[in-house]
Structures are given as C-alpha cells and as structure tokens.
Structure 1
Amino acid sequence: MKLLKFFTSKAFWVSVIVAVLLVVIGAYLALQWLGKTTNHDQKIAVPNIGKLTSEQAIKVLEESKLQMVVLDTLDFDKNVPPLSIVEQDPKANSFVKENRKIYVKINAATYKDVIVPNLSELTYRQALTTIVSLGLKEGKKSYRTYIGKDVVLQVLQNGKELKQGDRIKKNSVIDFVLGDGRATLSEEELDVAPEIE
C-alpha cells in the first residue's frame, strides 16, 4: 500500500519530470557541443595535388586548411615528374573536415640502383630472365666465336663491360656478347681436358 501511495504522490512525479527534463536538456547541450567541436556541417573539397611537388602540394593543402603526410616513395615512373605526388588519399574532390590529413605517395627522384649479377657462362635465355626480373632491359646482341651457342661471354652498357657487383640504374639497357657455337676444340685442347672418373 505504501508503494502504491509513493507512485501516486506529488514528490514522485516532480522527481520524474525533473529527471526527464535534465536528460533532454543534457542531450541537447551535448549534441550542440559535438556539432561545434567536430565541425559537423563543415565540408572542404580535397584539391587535386597529383603531379605537384611536395612543396607545391603543401601550399595548396594549407590554403584549404588541410595537412599532408607522406606515406611512401614509389619506384621511379618516367611519366610522372621526379619527387611529385603519385597517389593521394582521400581522392581529389572528396569532402573532408578542416585539418584533415591527406596521405600521399611520391615518385622517386630517379631509378633505383641494381647490382649486376654474374651472367657469364649462362645461356642467353637464363641471363635475359635474370635481367628482366631485376628491372633491366634487353639491348643488342652480338656474337663472337665460341664453342657454346648463345652462351653469355660479356655484358655491356653503353659499350662499357659490366662485371658482377657493378651498380647500374634500374631500367638500363644491357647489351650481350654471345657465343656463336662455331668454335671447335683443337687436339691439343682435347689432350689437356681433365679426365672424368
């Protein structure tokens, strides 16, 4: 009986109304505060900074009240200016809020160095597979008298002989001097050949 009397009392209903009003007012104030601190209605279009240098991109982004963060330097692409922006995230014309970080990837200044492996005495096909896997390009082939047909005798770049361990730029053109398979061993060379047991 006392419980029923409490639920019907004026003090109970005043407390309920005050509690509901406090929750509603608190929620309203919280939403207003969040709207102002998170810039809820603010939209800034992300500018296209592709192919700009990092200095130019920083200026463009600062004018839009955005920040730039470099994530990575990608392999050199000759179709894009050196040290310029290759990729950006978020993409151009996306809408973001003020002070948003724009993540970018930059084109390298030049091709990376590649260490020349030992290619002598390999077949041309083996050597070609090796240089292509390193990012080098096939150049001219010339032949010299040698017993092994299409065996690599020399590797050249711009007429200069390359040795194992030399450093050259990726995407360089490599020329080959190959055996023509026409040489034969003389009897003297056959006599000197080691015996196989």
Structure 2
Amino acid sequence: MSLIKFLTSKDFLKQIILAIIAVVVISFIMLQWLKASTNHGEFETVPDLTGKSISVAELELKDNNLVMQIQDSANFNPDYPKFSVIDQDPKSGTKVKENRKIYLTLNPSGYRKILVPNLEDKTFRLAKSTLEALEFNIGKLTYKDNIGKDIVLGLSHKGQPIKPGDKLPKTSVIDLVLGNGNRP
C-alpha cells in the first residue's frame, strides 16, 4: 500500500479522530484536576501584622489559613516593641493561596553591640567620622591640658571610661576627652 493511499484510508482517519478525542478528554480531565487541587479562584487576604507580637501574628495567620516563617533581623527599630513584627512579605492586603508562607521580620531586643575602635592619639575629626560611621553618637567634649590640640585622649560612656575593644550598643553616646593645645 502506498503512503498516499494509507493517509486517505478509513483506518488512518479513524485513528486520527480517536487520537484527537483522547487528547481533548485527557486535557479536560487534567484541567478539572488542576482546578480542584490548586483551589483555583480561592484566595486568602494577608493581614497587617506590623507592630504585633509573635503570638498574635501566629493566631491571625492561622485564622487566615496561612503559615508563619520567622526571619532574623539585626535592624533594631525603637518605634516598635521588642520581638514584634517590623516587616512582612507578602505585604498586608495581598491575595495569596491557602497555606502560603508569610515571612516575618522581627524587631530584636536591642541594638547589636559594636566594638569600640582605638581612637586615642587620633584627631577629633577622624574620631568623629569613625564613630559616626559605626553609628555611635558623639556626646560631651571635655578639654584637658595637652600639647596636641583636638587630639583624642580618652573615651567614656555614661561617665565610665571605655577602651578599644569594648562593645557598646549601636547609637550609644560616647563622650570624648580632647587636648586643648596647652602644655600641661
């Protein structure tokens, strides 16, 4: 039998029609299964959890059929209570599927501690820029008789002397003792 006669035969046409029907039926069944298994058209709204404690956030997420995933944070925000939610992903009001993970960033218990650099015998200008780069705050400036004008002679925090290598929380106020340029 030649190829052209085979392609125009009744047997070949029956097979093509059966194959097309099978593809349509299988596609229909697959689409119905996907619709049922993915809850097509059903969404949960992400609640606003900003500023809420972990336990309250967990309850709200469970009520909305969502899952909580906690992420660490080193960014302390004094505007929020300790261990409260400071950020979430996806944002509140977003429509998501049931059992979606909601990633929460928590406010740590305080600022992280940073090593105090060695600033003795450095200029005030260098000390100031170094401390500000580390996010410390410059406090009171005290001058002492020393031939080096504006040279750092010592550091203190809350009236207590500090030395290089001590750890202080970020944004701590550091007082400086500087030379006034007069001979002792």
Same fold (TM over 0.5): yes
Stretches (4+) displaced over 6 A: none
- Which residue of 2 is the match for residue 26 of structure 1? 26
Structure 2 match to 1:151? 151
Deviations 1:80-134 (A, max 9, x none): 2221112211111111100111112222111111111212111111111111111
Structure 2: gaps spanning 5 or more residues: none
Superposed, which structure 2 residues align to 1:13-162 within 5 Å? Answer: 13-162=13-162
Following superposition, the deviation at residue 17 of structure 1 comes to 2.2
Output aligned runs, 1:178-197, within 5 Å.
178-183=178-183
Residue identity matched to 1:114:
I
For residues 13 and 129 of structure 1, what CA distance do their matches in structure 2 show? 85
1:164 matches 2:157? no
Closer, same or farther: CA 41–183 of 1 in aligned 2, 3 Å: same
Give yes or no for contact 1:53–1:84 (8 Å, CA) kept in 2.
yes
Cα distance, 1:8 vs structure 2? 4.3
Give the Å deviation of 1:39: 1.3
Aligned counterparts of 1:163 and 1:4: Cα–Cα separation in 2: 96
Number of aligned positions between the proteins: 184
Q: Is residue 74–residue 105 contact of structure 1 (8 Å, CA) maintained in 2?
A: no
Q: What TM-score do the two structures reach when normalised by structure 2? A: 0.92
Native 8 Å contact 1:147 1:183 kept in 2? yes
Given residue 169 of structure 2, which amino acid in structure 1 is its aligned partner? K
> Which secondary structure does the structure 2 equivalent of 1:61 belong to?
helix
Give the CA deviation at 1:40: 1.4
Contact 2:74 2:112 in 1 (8 A): no
In 2, the alpha carbon distance for the partners of 1:163 and 1:124 equals 16
Residue 177 of structure 2 corresponds to 177
Q: Which runs of 5+ in 1 are unaligned?
A: 185-197
Gap change, CA 1:19 and 1:138, over 3 Å in 2: same
Give SS of 1:74's match: coil
3-state SS in 2 of match to 1:73: coil
Q: Distance in 2 between matches of 1:152 and 1:7?
A: 97
Superposition CA RMSD, Å? 1.7
Q: Which has the larger radius of gyration?
A: 1
